[in-house]
Amino acid sequence: MKKRNRIISSFLVIALVFMALSMSVSARNYSSYYNSPSCVAGTEYSCRNSQTANLTSQYPEPDSGNAGVYFYVSSVGLSNETYVWDTTREVTVKLYEDDAWNSDDYVCKYTGTFVIRTNTGLYQPSNWWRTDPNDVVTIEDTSNLELYITICIEVRAADTSHNIPQGLLLYRIWAD
């Protein structure tokens, strides 16, 4: 009986060790959800002073592939009274790592095109794609990252306003 219990215990320990070693661990950290501030179309607006995410990377010297942005569907859109609803209009979002002593480090760029959502009738950015720098660069010499975005929305000649409402983008910044 004791021998049988030892064998069962041994198999349980081996099974637990195997399961522990085969589990994947996600070390991705996320910022809070941010609503983009109001800004002006046609100019690059920096969120550096208002929406900087302080995140910790799992890497001692993270590079440009270790951070990014997730975009979510917002409840805000652009009005068809002041903006031409053109599905080729683009919004460019660039991610930077804030550097107190040197110029800020460019991480990557996201480009989105506008869509008219059938369920809400809102004209909003969607269909995002990421463009990484040609060379992978170290963006910080410690694992502490201060990440922020810039936003630039294309202008059309027939737009009667360039004012972008707060909350057009709903996003979170992440770091591995």
Q: Does residue 31 have a pLDDT over 50?
A: yes
Task: Give pTM, 2 decimals.
Answer: 0.84
Instruction: Share the mean pLDDT of the chain.
Output: 89
Q: Does residue 19 have a pLDDT over 90?
A: no
Phi first, then psi, for residue 4 (nearest 5°) are -65, -45
* pLDDT for residue 96: 98
Any residues with CB less than 8 A from the CB of 78 and at least 6 apart, and which?
Answer: 85, 114, 123, 124, 164, 165, 168
Kindly indicate the confidence band of residue 12, based on its pLDDT and cuts at 50, 70 and 90. Answer: very low
Which domains, and CATH codes, for the chain?
27-175 (2.60.120)
* pLDDT for residue 9: 52
- How many angstroms separate the first and last alpha carbons of the chain? 50
Any residues with CB less than 8 A from the CB of 93 and at least 6 apart, and which?
Answer: 69, 109, 110, 111, 112, 149, 150, 151, 169, 171
- Condensed to tens digits (0 to 9), the pLDDT of residues 83-140 reads 999 999 999 999 999 998 889 999 999 999 999 999 999 999 999 999 999 988 999 9
Which whole number is the average pLDDT over 132-152?
95
Closest CA to 175 of 85, 73, 56, 77: 56
Please check whether residue 98 is in contact with residue 146, taking contact to mean a CB–CB distance below 8 angstroms: yes
Closest CA to 96 of 148, 133, 50: 148
